[in-house]
Amino acid sequence: MTTETTAEQAQQELLDEFEMFDNWMDRYQYIIDMGKQLPAFPDEWKVDELKIQGCQSNVWMHHRLEGETLHFDAVSDAAIVSGLIAVLMRIYNDRRPADIRATNPHFMRDLGLDKHLSPTRSNGLNAMLERIYRVAEAEAAA
């Protein structure tokens, strides 16, 4: 029996954690703190091919297939966006492409991110999510 969480369980754990906070200032701070925990991102990966288009801040995302799972690394030069990357990584990183494609990103609505992020940050979050799904689609087809 495996103790790994599914993407759906990761979303639910995230929702449970956010329920601890009474207001959005605390939630934003928690997101920023999550971003500070991202692993180092090599400078040589900060290239145009890995840059996410549609983000107001600079965001780079690198991926590789490790066995049957997709591993993502990403970084941003903006604190809140780094936190959003950490949220996405928690849900989608190190999962099989089919599992990624089957995971509905309801956390955005359930956490209220769709209402509390600025339009440019929301567009950036959607652009990162689209990249994750596109990569998963390409790997599943390979």
Q: Which residues of 48-66 are buried (b: 16+ CB within 10 A; e: fewer)?
A: eebebeebeeebbbbbeee
Mark whether 30 is an active-site residue: no
Residue with token string 């689209």: 130
> Of these residues, 55, 61, 70, 111, which one is catalytic?
55
Residue with token string 């030069």: 77
CA distance 52 to 74: 10
Question: Beta-carbon neighbour count of residue 128 at 10 Å?
Answer: 25
As annotated, the active-site residues are 55
